[in-house]
Amino acid sequence: MRKVERINVIMRYINNRAHFTISEIMHEFDISRSTAIRDIREIEAMGMPLVAEVGRDGGYFVMNNSVLPTVRFTDNEIKALFIAFMATRNLQLPYLKSRHSLAEKLLGLISQNQQDDLVLLNQVLLFEGTNPHNPDLLDLSDLPHPMLEQLIQILLKDRYLVVTVEEGRKLQSYPIYLMRLYREKSAWQIEGFDLEEEKRRIIPVDNLADVKPYPEKKRISKKKIVEQLRNQEEAVNLILELGPKAIAQFKKYHPLKITISYTNPYQTTAILKTFIHVHHPDELAEITSWLLFLGEDIKVREIPKEVVEGLQGRVAMLGNK
C-alpha cells in the first residue's frame, strides 16, 4: 500500500475508534513501529486532533467533536478519477447531475497545475461515444431514462417489485424479484424472476412506466427462487474454441449471459459454452450476427443446426450484395 493511501486509510481507522495504540496500527497495517509513529505524527500535522495518553497502557484518542481533515489525492489518483469521468460520457449512466457536482467539487480541491493537466487530457483523450466537437467533461446532455434513478432507489430498499411497462399502446404489470440491472447494446435492462409465472424475464428500462414494491404476503422466498432458476437451467448446445482474434472481438462485445473460460495462462485461447434458444427468432438472429462478428478465429465443437442454417443464410445474403 502506498504511503498516501495508507495514511488516508489509517485516518479513517482512527476516526472510527474511541482509542487506539501504536501496536494496533502496526498489526492492522503490517508496518514497523517507526513507520507507524511517523504516520501518526504526519496525521497530527495534517490537523487531526489526537490526544496522547501516557503510561503502560497508554495510546491515543481523537478529541471529541472533531472531524477528519481533507482527504489528499496524488496526481495520478486525480487523473484516474477524471479519466473515469471522461470514459463514461454518453453512456446514459444514472445520477448524472450528482456526477456533475462531484466533478466540480473535485476541481475545487486541486491545484491550478493539476487543473491544467486535466484540461489537456480532456482535449486529447477521446473515448467511444465522445463527441469530438463537444468533449466537455461536465456536459449534461447524457441524461439516462428518467425511471432509472427511481428504480435504483427502490431496489436498494427492496428487490421484490411490481414493474409496469409499455407494450405497444398498452400497460402491462409484472411482479418480479430483481436479480440484475445491466446495460447491454447501449440500453438498460432488468433481469428478474417473474413471481407469478415463475420464470426468468428480461424487461427494457426504456419501456418502464412505473415501479413499486410487491406486497410481502405474495412473495416467494429467495431460496425458492434460486431453486426454480437452477431447475430451469438449460443444457449447453453451443461450444466454441476461441483464438486470440476471437477473444479480442469477444471483449469488445458479448451478450451478458455468455462467458468464456481461458484455457492457457496467457489468455490467448478460451472455450465458450452456452445454451441458444433456437425457437426464439430474436435470440437466434442476435447470436447468428454475433458469431459472424467474432470472425474466423473460432473452432466449433457443438452447434445447433438452426444456428448453422442462420449463418449460411447470412453469408448467402452478404454474397448477393
**pLDDT band, very low/low/confident/very high, at 142 (cuts 50, 70, 90):** confident
CB 187 within 8 Å of CB 162:
no
Dump strand ranges (E) for 254-308. Answer: 260-262, 270-274, 298-302
Kindly state the average pLDDT of the residues 117-132: 80
Q: Dump pLDDT digits (tens) for 269-290.
A: 999 999 888 888 888 898 999 9
Average pLDDT, whole number, for the chain?
85
Comparing CA positions, the residue from 173, 177, 122 lying closest to residue 155 is 177
Question: Cell 470472425, residue?
Answer: 295
- For residue 137, is pLDDT > 70? no
Element housing 250 (H / E): helix 244-252
Q: Dump pLDDT digits (tens) for 64-105.
A: 655 555 566 778 888 998 898 888 877 888 988 888 788 887
**pLDDT band, very low/low/confident/very high, at 164 (cuts 50, 70, 90):** very high
How much is the pLDDT for 321? 61
Kindly state the average pLDDT of the residues 16-35: 86
C-alpha cell at 181: 440491472
How much is the pLDDT for 204? 92
Q: What percent of the chain has pLDDT over 70?
A: 90
What CATH code would you report for 3-62?
Answer: 1.10.10.10
**pLDDT band, very low/low/confident/very high, at 211 (cuts 50, 70, 90):** very high
Parse the chain into domains and list their residue ranges.
Answer: 3-62, 74-144, 146-232, 238-320
Q: Dump pLDDT digits (tens) for 231-268.
A: 877 788 999 999 999 999 999 998 878 989 999 988 99
Query: Could you tell me which CATH class the domain 146-232 is placed in?
Result: mainly beta
What are the beta bridge partners of residue 204? 189
Q: How far apart are CA 137 and CA 193, in angstroms?
A: 38
Q: How far apart are CA 180 and CA 189, in angstroms?
A: 8
In the three-class reduction of DSSP (H, G, I as helix; E, B as strand; rest coil), residue 156 is classed as coil
How much is the pLDDT for 152? 94
- For residue 136, is pLDDT > 80? no
Amino acid at 194: D
